[in-house]
Amino acid sequence: MKLVIVGTGYVGLVTGVCFSEFGYETVCVDKDEKRISELKESKCPFFEPGMDELLSKHYNKTKLLNFSSSLSDAMKDASIIFITVGTPSRRLEDEADLSAVWKVSEEIANNINSYCLVVTKSTVPVGTTKEIKRIIKSITSEKNFDVVSNPEFLREGSAINDFMRPDRVVIGTESTNSEKIMRELYRPLYLIETPIVSTTIETSEIIKYASNSFLATKIGFINQVADLCEAVGANVQDVAKAMGIDKRIGSKFLHAGPGFGGSCFPKDVKAFASSAKKHNVDFSIINAVHSSNEIRPNKIANKIIDLKKYDKNSKIALLGLSFKPNTDDIRESTSLKIANFLNDKGIQINCYDPVSMKNSKNTYPNLNYCVSAYEACKSVDGIIIGTEWNEFRALNFSKIKKTINNPVIFDLRNIYNTAEIEKQGFEYYGIGK
């Protein structure tokens, strides 16, 4: 079985590498010839734990993985073609931009010469996969193909494990043959008793958006509970722990913080609400989740300013720039939104992140980038912990205190205990406590 993955972004490359690990011949295709050249040198375009090793293993050793800038060449003898191109939010609208999906669909149609499955793995609104089918049928004389919806559920920072040991695999099909082929494709996961959810194409498309939007709702909910906890002197961590013990609720995604970011949740929440609007369905809950998350970073930044009366003569250290740990992705990073807000107020920002500073420098050149957390904390009037990287969980506060102007910590991820930090002579502010 030969697989073609169209798009070598985060989803496409992880998918291609992991299918190679399953033993499938896999070709990853991208029109960006520079990226293809770098991939052939085993250079991963993003940071993801374990990717470099698997990339090198299957391109250089097993030869199961290959890269190409030509979709027509890659499609020769291909059994399954995955569409994994980006679906970002439109600039002036909340709906997903599907232009790349339509373009790839047309190119696939022009190169089909035998039966294959065309699978949407990109996150797409309901109705997209059926539209792909219509586009292909309108162009090609080859009628012998099927379309499938197979959404991804990969978390940046743990994507390989998520692919190899997923909670479930969702397959949306409209024929018994396509379902049979997809089940055979995922047989390595079936053998470890991974649930395979077979359903309609439309249901499959909604499952992905509904899952991400529900998780975003949990985050938005606990963040607002945190605000109430601060107002009345309660502790949101204890609240979340007690809530999470209830099996109906669960403990995951109940960690209060500065809001959700990244490449998925913000755009998916908006796109899901946009789909509902098109069909005249009330999505007031999801709309409220989006609105509350949009204002949260600036709200927290203003709170930081007000607490210590920071002004244009102040300097603050920001530890963590990526939207979450174990990734260099800064898209919709709440840390950087807060940093940018403070910087616009004239406050100088010293920042440090283990892997994402290169990406950040291109977008936020006005920040002062440092080689370590300790350098960032020198001569500052406060420290913001914006991302919960492991190396920030055991900082040497005795060392920091010797060089800091004002020992104040704003722990936006609640990785420290209030009493322990205050014992070391620091003023401590967490979220919801």
Q: Could you list the active site residues?
A: 264
Neighbour count for residue 164 (Cβ, 10 Å): 15
CA angle 323–327–329, rounded 5-degree value:
55
Strand, coil or helix: what is 411? strand
Q: For residues 339 and 323, give the distance between their C-alpha atoms in angstroms, rounded to a whole number.
A: 13
Burial of 231 (0-12, 13-18, 19+ CB in 10 A): exposed
- Residue 63 DSSP symbol: -
Pairing of strands 383-385, 408-411: parallel
Question: What are the tokens at 77?
Answer: 């003898």
Strand, coil or helix: what is 273? helix
**Which of 115, 142, 123, 146 has the alpha carbon at shortest distance from 133?**
146
CA angle 295–389–343, rounded 5-degree value:
45
Q: The dihedral of CA 13, 101, 71, 36: what is its sign?
A: negative
Q: For residues 159 and 378, give the distance between their C-alpha atoms in angstroms, rounded to a whole number.
A: 35
The tokens 């406060």 sit on which residue?
382
Q: Are the CB atoms for 385 and 320 separated by under 8 Å?
A: yes
Q: Are the CB atoms for 117 and 80 separated by under 8 Å?
A: yes
Please report which residue ranges of 40-186 form alpha helices under DSSP H.
51-56, 71-74, 99-109, 128-139, 159-164, 176-185
Residue 252 has, within 13 A of its CA and on its CB side, a CA count of 4
Specify the DSSP element, H or E, that contains 49: none
Biggest distance spanned by C-alpha atoms of the chain: 75
Strand, coil or helix: what is 300? helix
Q: For residues 245 and 253, give the distance between their C-alpha atoms in angstroms, rounded to a whole number.
A: 13
Q: For residues 27 and 71, give the distance between their C-alpha atoms in angstroms, rounded to a whole number.
A: 9
